C-alpha cells in the first residue's frame, strides 16, 4: 500500500503550504491550520508504517482510524476556515471516494457517515448558520458526500462483481479447456493403443508399450494388467510396468471376483475389474492409493483399452490355434505331413551348416487293416491316437513326431547318427509292442506291432527326397523280413548287394 504513503505525504505538503500562506497573510486563520496540519501529520506518522505492513488493503480498523483522523483534521480546518467558501469540501469528497473504492459497501457507508458528521459539526460549530438558504446548501453538501460515496461504492461493487464473474468464467473456461485437452490426450492414447494392439497377432509383445502409453494419461507409477480365462481359471495375457519381474505372477490361483495383485516392493497393491464377461475377466492392478484416485474418466479409458485388449487376445489365440491346426494332425495331435516336410528341410540345412548327422524313422503299424476289420474304424482311430501318444512319450523333446499318413508315422531325430537312431527305433518298437490298446468295450486287449525303417543323412541319402525314399524302403524291408522289427536301407558296395543288419546300422 505504498500509494497510501504517497497520498498522505502529498496531502501533508498541501496543508503545510496552506498553513504557510495563511500564517503569513491572514494570522487569524493560523491556529486552525496549525491544529489541522498537526492532527493530519500525526495520523500520517502513525498510520503509514501500519499501511506498509498491511496485506489486506480493505482492513476495517486501519481505514476507520484514517477516517477518524481525517475527519478531525478536516473538521478543524473546515470550522476555522469556513469563511473562505468551504475550501476543504473537495477533500471530504475525495476521502469518501477513496473509502468507497477500498472498503466493502456497507463499511464504506459507515465511514462516509463519519466524514459527514465531521463536516456537519464543523459547520454548525464554527459558523453561525441563520439563513434558511444556507441550511439548504449545507444539507445539499452533506447529501453530496453520501451520494459520492454511495455512487463510487456501487460502481466499484459492480466492477468487482463483473471482475469476479469474469474470473469465474475464465476459471470455468480453463477447466473446460483442461478437460478437453485431457480428453484429446486420452482419445489419442486409446487410438494409439488400439493401433498397436491390432498391429500384431503376437499380442504378448505389446503389453509393456500399452502400459507405458496409459501412464502418460493416467499417473500410475507401477501397474499390471491381466486377462483371465474364467472357464480354465488361468491367465492368458499379462503385462506389467514398474513392477519387478519376480513379483509378477499369474492370477490363475486367485479369487476371480476379488483378486489381490502381486506385491511390488513393500507397497500394497489393489485390483479393479475392468471387464467381467462370462468367459473373460480383465483385471487392472496398481498401488491402492493410485487405484482410489482414479477418476471416472480414467476408468472409462481403462475399460476401453481392456475391451480392445480382449479382442486382440482372442484374435491372437485364434491365430495360434489356426497356425497349430495347420501343422497338426487332428486325430493324433502329432505334426502333419506338411510340417514334417518343412522340418526336414530345416534340419538338413542345419546338418549341412554344422556338419551334423540327421536320422529319420518311418513306422508302419503291422496288419492295421485287421484291427479296423475286427473292431471297427472308431477303435482303429483310437489305436492310432494312442500310438501317437506312445511315440511322443518315448522320444526326446527336440525330436519331431509326425503322422505321415494312414497308419504310418515319422520321427525326425536331429544330431543323431544311424546307431543312435537304431537304439531309439528299438525303444519305440518295444514300447508299442508292450502296450495294450483299448477295444470297443474300453478294455485294453488289442495288441499291435510296428515295422520301423531308419535312414541317416548323409550316410543313406544326399537330400530330403532320397532320405524319405530310403526310410520308406527300409520299412518295406522290415515288412518283408517278418514285421515287428527295425531295418535300414540296402547298401550297395560295387556289384555286391549287402543286406542291412543291426551291425550295418551301427556302422
Instruction: Clarify whether 195 is annotated catalytic.
Output: no
Residue 285 near residue 277 (C-beta atoms within 8 A): no
Q: Are 498 and 491 in contact (CB under 8 A)?
A: yes
Classify burial at 138, counting beta carbons within 10 Å of its beta carbon; exposed 0-12, middle 13-18, buried 19 or more.
middle
> Bridge partners of 493?
496
> Going by C-beta distance under 8 Å and a sequence separation of 6 or more, which residues neighbour residue 353?
none
CA 319 from centroid of its chain's CA atoms: 27
CA atoms 487, 488, 489, 492: torsion sign:
negative
Instruction: Output the CA–CA distances (angstroms, integers) from residue 435 to 372, 387, 390, 428, 445, in the order listed.
Output: 18, 9, 9, 11, 9
Q: Catalytic pick from 407, 443, 465, 502?
A: 407
Is residue 319 within 8 A of residue 200, CB to CB? The reply is no
Question: Where is 347: in which H helix or E strand?
Answer: helix 337-354
**Can you tell me the distance from the alpha carbon of 501 to that of 353, in angstroms, rounded to the nearest whole number?**
30
Please give the grid coordinates belonging to residue 58. 480493505
Beta-carbon count within 10 A of 23 CB: 14
Distance CA 91, CA 227 (A): 80
Q: Is residue 215 exposed (0-12), middle (13-18) or buried (19+ Cβ within 10 Å)?
A: middle
The H or E element containing residue 156 is helix 132-197
Collapsed DSSP state (helix, strand, coil) of residue 221: coil
- C-alpha grid cell, residue 134: 444556507
Return the residue matching grid coordinates 473504492: 101
Bridge partners, residue 286, by sequence: 223, 270
Helices (H) and strands (E) counted in the chain, each on its own, are 15, 13
- Which residues are catalytically annotated? 407
Amino acid at each position: 500500500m505504498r500509494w497510501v504513503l504517497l497520498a498522505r505525504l502529498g496531502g501533508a505538503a498541501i496543508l503545510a503550504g496552506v498553513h504557510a500562506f495563511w500564517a503569513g497573510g491572514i494570522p487569524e486563520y493560523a491556529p486552525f491550520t496549525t491544529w489541522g496540519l498537526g492532527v493530519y501529520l500525526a495520523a500520517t506518522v502513525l498510520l503509514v508504517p501500519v499501511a506498509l505492513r498491511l496485506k489486506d488493503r480493505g482492513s476495517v480498523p486501519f481505514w476507520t482510524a484514517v477516517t477518524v483522523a481525517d475527519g478531525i483534521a478536516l473538521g478543524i480546518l473546515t470550522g476555522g476556515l469556513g469563511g473562505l467558501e468551504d475550501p476543504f469540501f473537495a477533500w471530504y469528497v475525495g476521502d469518501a471516494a477513496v473509502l468507497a473504492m477500498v472498503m466493502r459497501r456497507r463499511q464504506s457507508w459507515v465511514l462516509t457517515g463519519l466524514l459527514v458528521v465531521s463536516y456537519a459539526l464543523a459547520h454548525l460549530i464554527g459558523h453561525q448558520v441563520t439563513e434558511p438558504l444556507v441550511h439548504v446548501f449545507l444539507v445539499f453538501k452533506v447529501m453530496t458526500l453520501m451520494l459520492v460515496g454511495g455512487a463510487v461504492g456501487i460502481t466499484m461493487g459492480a466492477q468487482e462483481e463483473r471482475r469476479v464473474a469474469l474470473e469465474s468464467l475464465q476459471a470455468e473456461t480453463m477447466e473446460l479447456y483442461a478437460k478437453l485437452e485431457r480428453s484429446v490426450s486420452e482419445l489419442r492414447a486409446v487410438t494409439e493403443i488400439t493401433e498397436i494392439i491390432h498391429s500384431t497377432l503376437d499380442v504378448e509383445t505389446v503389453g509393456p508399450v500399452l502400459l507405458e502409453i496409459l501412464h502418460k494419461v493416467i499417473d500410475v507409477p507401477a501397474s499390471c494388467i491381466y486377462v483371465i480365462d474364467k472357464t480354465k481359471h488361468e491367465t492368458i495375457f499379462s503385462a506389467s510396468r514398474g513392477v519387478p519381474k519376480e513379483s509378477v505372477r499369474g492370477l490363475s490361483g486367485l479369487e476371480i471376483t476379488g483378486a489381490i495383485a502381486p506385491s511390488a516392493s513393500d507397497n500394497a497393491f489393489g485390483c479393479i475389474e475392468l471387464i467381467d464377461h462370462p468367459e473373460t475377466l480383465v483385471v487392472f492392478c496398481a498401488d491402492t492409493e493410485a487405484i482410489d484416485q482414479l477418476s471416472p474418466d480414467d476408468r472409462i479409458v481403462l475399460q476401453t483399452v481392456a475391451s480392445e485388449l480382449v479382442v486382440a487376445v482372442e484374435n491372437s489365440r485364434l491365430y495360434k490355434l489356426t497356425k497349430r491346426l495347420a501343422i497338426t494332425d487332428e486325430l493324433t495331435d502329432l505334426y502333419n505331413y506338411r510340417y514334417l516336410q518343412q522340418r526336414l528341410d530345416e534340419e538338413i540345412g542345419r546338418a549341412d551348416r554344422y556338419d551334423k548327422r540327421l536320422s529319420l524313422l518311418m513306422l508302419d503299424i503291422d496288419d492295421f487293416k485287421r484291427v479296423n476289420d475286427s473292431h471297427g474304424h472308431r477303435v482303429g482311430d483310437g489305436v492310432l491316437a494312442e500310438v501317437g501318444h506312445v511315440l511322443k512319450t518315448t522320444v526326446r523333446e527336440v525330436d519331431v513326431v509326425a503322422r505321415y499318413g494312414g497308419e504310418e508315422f515319422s520321427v525326425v531325430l536331429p544330431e543323431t547318427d544311424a546307431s543312435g537312431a537304431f537304439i531309439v527305433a528299438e525303444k519305440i518298437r518295444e514300447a508299442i509292442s508292450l502296450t495294450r490298446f483299448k477295444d470297443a468295450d474300453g478294455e485294453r486287449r488289442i495288441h499291435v506291432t510296428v515295422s520301423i525303417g531308419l535312414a541317416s543323412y548323409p550316410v543313406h541319402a544326399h537330400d530330403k527326397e532320397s532320405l524319405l525314399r530310403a526310410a520308406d524302403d527300409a520299412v518295406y524291408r522290415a515288412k518283408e523280413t517278418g514285421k515287428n522289427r527295425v531295418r535300414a536301407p540296402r547298401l550297395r558296395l560295387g556289384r555286391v548287394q549287402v543286406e542291412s543288419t543291426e551291425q550295418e546300422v551301427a556302422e
